[in-house]
Chains A and B, each alone.
Chain A
Amino acid sequence: MTDVTSLWSYLATTPLIWLTITILAYLVADGVARRLGNPPWANPVLLSVLLIAPVLWLTRTDYSTYFEGAQFIHFLLGPATVALALPLWDNRDTIRTSVAPIMLALVVGSIVAAGSAILLARAFGLPMEVLLSLAPKSTTAPVALGISEAIGGIPALTAVLVIMTGIIGAVAVTPLMNLLRITDWRARGFAVGVAAHGIGTARAFQVNPVAGAYAGIAMALNALLTSLIVPLLVRWLV
């Protein structure tokens, strides 16, 4: 019989096991979410994390070991962002006729995303470096980390806050928009893309392809705008 401990010590040193576990966890999470009809609260990212975290804890695996396997998945975020060009291209005619709503909603949404975070952090009396880490939370992670570092925040904290924001937006968007009886998929998708970057965009694609396309545009444009707006808002509001 194979010695379980030596088998484990072999597996734990290869990226294979954590890559496989991440895929399996996602298949289970996505399968459950689909079977339930993709309700907002059954977010596949959140469910996958809740499945993987106990496995890491039980096997006493640290995140850097896990990431040696998971980095192959994480890497694909880059080409996936480039692939958003296709839904953008497919919707080029309606995008061309909605340039004004897109641009104004982007500016307003981006200012409210960062401004409300700064003002709420002040109201809660949070320390300055936490406030600064919070300000860029609605934009995509690489941009948010760069801004956080530039204005004196803690990039590691920003990384956590960005992902939490994405999951909150992805869970909240459907009930919120249904409550407001908003039926325009362009507006619904655009809102979640501005407020909740790629994780919100993933939710939008789950619900409707037009919403997904507009969320992708919003995420890309907000990545450009947030790095201009956040330093200004910090100067005015802090």
Chain B
Amino acid sequence: MLQTLGLLLGCQLLGEMTVRGFGLAMPGPVLGLTLLVLILTRMPILAERLRPTSTVILANLSFLFVPAGVGVIGNLEALSGDGIALLVILTLSTVLSMLATVGTFIGVRHVTERWTT
């Protein structure tokens, strides 16, 4: 567990340092994720050592969003008078985005599968 945590935090740290150092417009952990995938391509054996702790973390991903979620309740006045309009917009926009994404994914998959077979 400590080895996994050390590796995850180490990748995040390198990611954060690179992002800050070069003024990149991406979050440090996303660069850390990319770095860890690169490490895994060099050392595939690491995957099994990472698995137990990573599985526990990812199975409880929702838990990690609770503090930010509570922050919404404490910050509801930021919505001022536009709460209902914003709720409607967020719902419509999120559904539209999921429809567009899933439609494109499946459409392109059909086309590429026809090409390759």
Contact = CB atoms under 8 A, between A and B. Distances in A.
B109 A184 contact: yes
Contact of A73 (B67, B88, B112): B67
A39 B100 CA distance: 24
- Chain A facing B: main interface SS: helix
Nearest to B8: A79
Contact of B65 (A104, A113, A177, A198): A198
B74 A138 contact: no
Given A70-B66, A83-B54, A90-B47, A143 B27 contact: yes
A98 interface: yes
Contacts of B75: 63, 156, 159-160
Interface in B93-113: 93-102, 104-106, 108-109, 112
Interface string A152-176: 0010110111011111110011001
A172 B8 CA distance: 31
Which size class do B's interface residues fall under?
Answer: 35 or more
B79 interface: yes
Interface string B55-90: 101110111111111111111101100100111111
Interface residues of A, number: 108
Contacts of B30: 81, 140, 220, 223-224
Contacts of A180: 99, 102
B47 A49 contact: no
Given A73-B67, A190-B101, A79 B12 contact: yes
A186 B29 CA distance: 23
B17 interface: no
A121 interface: yes
B67 A134 contact: no
Nearest to B74: A63
15 contacts: A22-B70, A63-B75, A71-B67, A78-B29, A82-B36, A89-B40, A100-B112, A104-B105, A105-B108, A109-B101, A109-B104, A188-B102, A195-B101, A206-B62, A220-B30
